[in-house]
Amino acid sequence: MSRGDIQFGKMEPEVEGQIQWCASATSAPSAAVPELVVPKTQTWSESQAAQLVFADEQHASRIFEHARHSVIHISTVLQQQQHRGGVEAKGAGTGFIWDEHGHAITNWHVVRDAAEIQVRFSSLQPGLYYSASVLGRDAFRDIAVIELVRPSSKVIADALPPLPPPLPRLKDSAGLRVGQRVYAIGNPFGLEFTLTAGIISGLGREIAAAGKRVRPMFNVIQTDAAINPGNSGGPLINSSGQVIGVNCAIASNSGTFAGVGFALPMNSVVRAAEEILEHGRVRHTYLGLGFAPDVLSRQMGIETGLLVLSVRENGPAARAGVVATVRAPNGRLVLGDIVLSLNEVAVNGINDVFRYLENTQVGDALRICVLRNGEKVNLEVELDEAPDMDSLVHAPLRPHHRL
């Protein structure tokens, strides 16, 4: 696959997409074509009509009818600094009901800059909506939990039906296989509750760090089910009607779907949602190290491992005694430790560190093997919760485009 830009499908403006109607060209036939005669009075009973629908089509329709009631259309009003001239800026995305307590899942980039969030279901009459607020987010996995409440308008609140039930979820993403049929439900270009179908095209994909997201996304599902602006945060569903992932991005050079879409797997979503609901945030671990870019290390003759440029004061690595690169009084550069492995897992690139930390928890013990003055040294580290986005190990950020 050629590397197109990874585009996160946030902020579809709430205007109708440009729909191009396809008209067939006409030309003189080379031979007479028999006229197709359809009886004008032809009617079909429900049973006859059902016979015209293939079994797989009936199955897709059943999945859609079962799931669509729990899929939500999210409309946002952006914070004032996001626009000029007093024009109200709006955006849109998708989400789905998570539990019986009014919580829903969407992408963090859908609601990140929202000053106001409104949520609609397919069963709601025009003009009716739920209000929502962000309960917590996982900026690294691009997941947010929002809480739905009845709006302050008593007229609207009294007319709202109860919230729909949560969608069933796949218990373990590890069982997914390439080739499985999948369905995406969302609101592309403002077209509410649209169903698209495809297959799992790949597993274990990685999306590079970009913009405000300083860590890559791991174990991502690739699909050819159409995902477009407005689909972000919507469910990717298997043939059993279970949510297997949250649609989050596409690979495209044009900004529109080109056959390569991505969804965060359910294992990652469940972990983020459970931590948010329990702690109000996701507690990511960090080392407190700044590494030299991989290319620079190789240019300096470091063939394996990662050169430590900086060590965060009082961070996990500092307490363990990891040594940073410094400049001597005479101006000579004194190289710091070279990290070779984490718990005997070799690291030769920045993503190797992120990938290892992805499966750790606050308080976990970690053995770091470093090369110092030509000798290997083992250091014991107890992982801390990352205090903020800028405290984490940074990877070089790649240019990107957002939808």
Three-state DSSP at 68 gives helix
Cα–Cα separations (whole angstroms), residue 314 to 163, 283, 350, 385: 47, 18, 22, 13
> Could you tell me if 370 and 263 are in contact, meaning their C-beta atoms sit under 8 angstroms apart?
no
How far is it, in rounded angstroms, from Cα 114 to Cα 99? 23
211-215, long-range: CB < 8 A, 24+ apart: 211/397, 211/400, 211/402, 212/139, 212/389, 213/139, 213/140, 213/142, 214/140, 214/389, 214/390, 214/392, 214/394, 214/395, 214/397, 215/140, 215/284, 215/354, 215/392, 215/395
How far is it, in rounded angstroms, from Cα 77 to Cα 91? 7
How far is it, in rounded angstroms, from Cα 122 to Cα 126? 10
Please give the structure tokens belonging to residue 40. 């004008």
Alpha carbon of residue 287 to chain centroid = 24
Nearest to 180 by CA among 91, 242, 114, 255: 242
Residues tagged active-site: 109, 142, 232
How far is it, in rounded angstroms, from Cα 302 to Cα 340? 11
| CB burial of residue 331 (10 Å; 0-12, 13-18, 19+) | exposed
How far is it, in rounded angstroms, from Cα 272 to Cα 105? 10
- In single-letter form, the type of residue at position 282 comes to V
> Could you tell me if 275 and 282 are in contact, meaning their C-beta atoms sit under 8 angstroms apart?
yes
Residue with tokens 């030299």: 292
Antiparallel, parallel or unpaired: β 333-334 and 326-327: antiparallel
Q: Phi, psi (5° rounding) for residue 69? A: -70, -25
Who's near 99: CB < 8 A, 6+ residues apart? 166
